[in-house]
Structure 1
Amino acid sequence: MVNDTDDDICSTVDDIEKYKAKFRKLSTALDKLILDEVEPISAARLNALFDRWIQVKKTFEKMCFWLSEFDLKQYQGEIDALEGRLAKMRKIHFSFKHKIDLIQKPLKESCIEAKPDGNSNKEQIRHGTIEGVTNEEIVLDNQSRHLNDHGAQNYVLNRLENCVVWILDEIFSLKLMNLKNCKVYAIPINGSVLVEKCEKITLHLAARQLRIHETKYGDFYICTHTFPVIENSRHLRGAPYNLKGERVKKLLQKYRLNTENESWKHVRDFGYSEPSWTVIPQDQIKAVEKEM
């Protein structure tokens, strides 16, 4: 059943049609309100419309884990179109209670890549997105939150090569796209992880859901609430999530993630006739010495 709680997400394929219906209802209602609006619009009214847009976007984020690539583009297009229409209605600079830019432009100065030794270099990160980084070690923790207008609830890593990423912030979702020769270590995540078009990667992840699309040559040390879903991928291997530390233990309990359920063995594999997932041999498992 679909409800309106902030921590509710689509947990099964069977729920997806309910979420699509909710998205369509919210999107259509907002579209009509925008059409019926008379200019000039007040700041209070524009904030109210923006609140509705946030609800449309949140509904999309809760169901995106189960959407096909085609549906992802379609729904994202609708969200962007509504956002653009709201931006056009803003003829003067109102003070939004949600301080999110309606028109997004690259901001190189709003990005940080923090290293374990405390030194910081600036790369490109905006609204939780890090992209186009090569040969770096990146640490994302709660001290990076001032860079993220969404409160560091989501991170997107895109087009990283030969990088090591430590995600030490408590986040709701993680999207990994076009990573090559990268390692990602993450404390437990209270939502979903999407891995798309990655190659030669090693991931240490604990999350409620994991979906892997068009990815090859990857080792996954994972713990998930539901069985991982693989689509059109090859040469992937799995093993138990092996990050340690008191904080990891507390978050696993908080998010009700059971490391004993062996979900890493039982994947849903779609797209190829031959199995895409095998178990990492015990003598090839890479231990992680650092505690979180």
Structure 2
Amino acid sequence: MADEEDALSSNPNEAPNHSEESRQRKHAALLERLANRHQTRLENSLTRRSADSDSSSSSPSFESTSSFLSRFADSKRSIESRIAQCRLTPTSESTQLKSNLDSISASISDLEKLVAENSYFLPSYEVRSLLKAISDLKQSLESLSSELVPKKKFIFKNKAAKKEKAPIFDSMKEKEPETDKPAKVGFTVPESPGFRNKTGEVLVREFKGSEIGEFTISDLDSCEVRLIGCVRALFAHRLRNCRIFGGPVSASILIEGAEDCVFVIASHQIRIHHVKASDFYLRVRSRPIIEDTTNVRFAPYCLSYEGIDEDLKSAGLNEETGNWAHVDDFGWLRAVQSPNWSILPENDRIGLIKISDPNKGAEKI
């Protein structure tokens, strides 16, 4: 009986203890939930900060593009202002007027070269817009020159044209009958190292160990050009019946005026203007661009010389992209294939060309 009373007397004490333990467990669970919620919020905050950091770190490329476009716009406005100023120059001051037109033409060429060198890093639609703007500048200058300068007195010349031997294309033009069309403002040949005004020669240049950044080949007829090693930029102007074998170019190649030629060249960006009946064997990182060009054919790069693999790798051209077969014709805006270019049939291709020995001719392998 006493034991039962003890048991009954103990129950009132156990109930409060049990209730207290329950409250403590609930309180601990609440604290745990709050701690977990705080940790989750902290992790979300860190994630957002990381995303913001990544976004800000990716902005320099956009800023770089924006900066380039701003610089281009400033240069374009400057050229347009100079063209407008020329219209106010009295025609009696022919010497000053010619000097101003020469200077504007050189500025347009420099701007075009700048776009070519940076086109690989710019969006394709921006490149198209920039090239269209340059084309408009050329047209404006051409119209101005035909209005203000007499036809036979206004001729753009480069330093190479001062030699006793006239450029091959100039001599050809002398034999053609005169027309009433105004003389066009031509491409200004860069004053960089190069081969100029040659006929029927084999021209070899090795760039290994040299500090040549840009190289020019201009006014060549029936010549074979072999360029061994890397350069930053290559310019080709007024070529006829020539074979051009070139190592990798780390930036861009600009070809302005060629006929019945073969080009075996590699570059990040290749632009082809006013070319007829020529074959191109290319390795190129971006799509080749043609303009005012007809009857040209394309095939993959096929050049070999000692050390070419290292040169291709250093120029970032060691991988074949297949872009040689994807040509953009800026003069053909229809959805169907441009009739101005085609893929060179395999049976008509020249095969691998080896130019390792400067003292020997190019060898077909």
TM-score scaled by length of structure 1: 0.60
Distance 2:220 2:209 in 1: 19
Matched, 1:264 2:324: yes
Residue type of the partner of 1:137?
A: V
The alpha-carbon distance between structure 1 residues 15 and 241, as it changes in their structure 2 partners (threshold 3 A), is farther
Tell me if structure 2 keeps the 8 A contact 1:141–1:168.
yes
Distance 1:58 1:230 in 2: 19
| Unaligned stretches of 5+ residues in structure 1 | 5-9, 28-56, 77-103, 109-124, 146-150
> Partner of 1:142 in structure 2?
207
Stretch deviating more after TM superposition (269-278 or 211-220): 269-278
Matched, 1:21 2:73: yes
Specify the SS of the correspondent of 1:271: coil
Tell me if structure 1 keeps the 8 A contact 2:305–2:354.
no
> Partner of 1:254 in structure 2?
314
Distance 1:231 1:24 in 2: 21
The correspondence of residues 32-43 of structure 1 with structure 2, limited to 5 A, is none
Distance 2:315 2:342 in 1: 27
Greater CA radius of gyration, 1 or 2? 2
The alpha-carbon distance between structure 1 residues 242 and 143, as it changes in their structure 2 partners (threshold 3 A), is closer
The correspondence of residues 100-119 of structure 1 with structure 2, limited to 5 A, is none
The correspondence of residues 167-246 of structure 1 with structure 2, limited to 5 A, is 167-246=227-306
CA deviations 1:218-249 (Å, max 9, x no partner) are 11000111000011111111111011245221
Task: State the shift of 1:105 in Å.
Answer: 5.6
Specify the SS of the correspondent of 2:308: helix
> Partner of 1:121 in structure 2?
none
> Partner of 2:114 in structure 1?
62
| Unaligned stretches of 5+ residues in structure 2 | 1-60, 80-108, 118-126, 142-157, 164-189, 358-365
The alpha-carbon distance between structure 1 residues 184 and 225, as it changes in their structure 2 partners (threshold 3 A), is same
Task: State the shift of 1:253 in Å.
Answer: 1.5
Task: State the shift of 1:156 in Å.
Answer: 1.6
1:163 pairs with 223, 234, 237, which one? 223
> Partner of 1:54 in structure 2?
none
The alpha-carbon distance between structure 1 residues 58 and 213, as it changes in their structure 2 partners (threshold 3 A), is closer
Specify the SS of the correspondent of 2:249: coil
Distance 1:243 1:203 in 2: 10
2:193 pairs with 124, 128, 142, which one? 128
> Partner of 1:286 in structure 2?
350
Task: State the shift of 1:171 in Å.
Answer: 1.1
Task: State the shift of 1:59 in Å.
Answer: 7.1
Distance 1:136 1:170 in 2: 22
Tell me if structure 1 keeps the 8 A contact 2:240–2:260.
yes
Matched, 1:277 2:341: yes
Residue type of the partner of 2:310?
A: K
The alpha-carbon distance between structure 1 residues 187 and 71, as it changes in their structure 2 partners (threshold 3 A), is farther
CA RMSD of aligned residues (A): 4.0
Specify the SS of the correspondent of 2:234: strand
Task: State the shift of 1:131 in Å.
Answer: 1.9
The alpha-carbon distance between structure 1 residues 243 and 156, as it changes in their structure 2 partners (threshold 3 A), is same
The correspondence of residues 85-104 of structure 1 with structure 2, limited to 5 A, is none
Task: State the shift of 1:126 in Å.
Answer: 6.1
Specify the SS of the correspondent of 1:256: coil
Distance 1:172 1:264 in 2: 20
Distance 1:206 1:155 in 2: 14
Task: State the shift of 1:290 in Å.
Answer: 3.3
Residue type of the partner of 2:69?
A: E
Specify the SS of the correspondent of 1:178: strand
Distance 2:243 2:304 in 1: 17
CA deviations 1:23-72 (Å, max 9, x no partner) are 46999xxxxxxxxxxxxxxxxxxxxxxxxxxxxx9876432466466468
Residue type of the partner of 2:226?
A: W
Task: State the shift of 1:280 in Å.
Answer: 1.2
Return the structure number with greater relative CO, CA threshold 8 A, min gap 6: 1
Identity %: 26
Task: State the shift of 1:196 in Å.
Answer: 1.3
4+ long deviations beyond 4 Å: 1-4, 22-27, 57-60, 68-74, 104-108
Distance 2:297 2:238 in 1: 18
